[in-house]
Amino acid sequence: MLDRPHLQRVKGEARVALGRAGLRDLRQAGSAKAMLPRVDGAEPEVVFLNTAGGVTAGDRLDYALALGPGARAVGATQTAERAYRAPDGRGRIETLLTVGAGAHLDWLPQETILFEGAGLDRVTEVELAEGATFLGVDTLVLGRAAHGETLRDVRLEDRRRVTRGGVPLHEEHLSLDAGALADPAALGGARALATLVLIAPDAADRLAGLRAALPAPSVRAAVSAWEGRLVARLAAPDPAPLRRALISAIVALRGTPMPRVWQTDD
């Protein structure tokens, strides 16, 4: 793929709204696309794609997925997102997920790969209405594994927030720079990190099942549940075992196969 920053700035937005009866609205512009593949299961899938393949300084992508009251859907990305070297700034990716009353969203994007020198601001906002539930994952790969790349310098601000009625229920904010990458006590040699978050009244009941699904070779994983949230964190020196462990965890929680876009080799 592209090894160097491309000079043409990437802009794109893709916004999808689904109701209980299906698609209500789809708007897309620039290099962001959204697709609704035909699926065997009962729940529709919405797959987002950045046709530019990645982001660099000055790029801006906006994704939005809105579920109406009572709707259920799976959101995913077609492939890994790439944050290329961005010597003169940062790219920005914003994702807004709104989940209507009593609705449920499984947000299962594939990994984001940070290249050496990447600069990325990412904001993922999840707004839940009353009675809405949410499962979300996020995977960050530090450097191109195939190139044996060890990151020394990136600038990442990655904010993820789940709110209900404006009240924050869960927040993650990963902030990486050269200092953090150089500190073995910060990342512990991990080159792949994943977080899984379930916001649901029965989140604590899922704790034992998720713990049982997670032990995996070469992956450090831990799970906690409290106050209606279930959180799992995974870290590994290599992305492939982490991806397998994350898939096991997601399958254990959902009880259904992964979306087709995930069913590739690893």
Residues that bind another protein (CB under 8 A): 157-159, 161-162, 167-177, 179-180, 183-188, 190, 193, 211, 220, 222-227, 231, 233, 235
Report the 10 Å Cβ neighbour count for 222: 11
- What are the tokens at 189? 């040699």
Of 130 and 183, the one with the shorter C-beta distance to another protein is: 183
Q: In whole angstroms, what is the distance from residue 22 CA to residue 178 CA?
A: 45
Least CB distance from residue 158 to another protein, whole Å? 7
State in angstroms the smallest separation of the CB of 115 from another protein. 18
Measured distance between the N- and C-terminal CA atoms of the chain, rounded to whole angstroms: 17
Nearer to another protein, 27 or 173 (CB): 173
Q: Is 251 helix (H, G, I), strand (E, B) or coil?
A: helix
State the nearest-atom distance from the C-beta of 193 to another protein, in Å.
Answer: 6
Report in angstroms how near the CB of residue 65 gets to another protein at its nearest: 21
In whole angstroms, what is the distance from residue 63 CA to residue 35 CA? 12
The nearer residue to another protein, 37 or 215, going by C-beta atoms, is 215
Give the residues across from 224 on adjacent strands.
Answer: 231
Report the distance separating Cα 174 and Cα 194, nearest Å: 11
DSSP character string of 78-90: SS-EEE-B-TT--
Q: Which is nearer to another protein, 37 or 188 (CB)?
A: 188
Residue closer to another protein, measured from CB, 61 or 181: 181
CB of 33 to another protein, least distance (A): 30
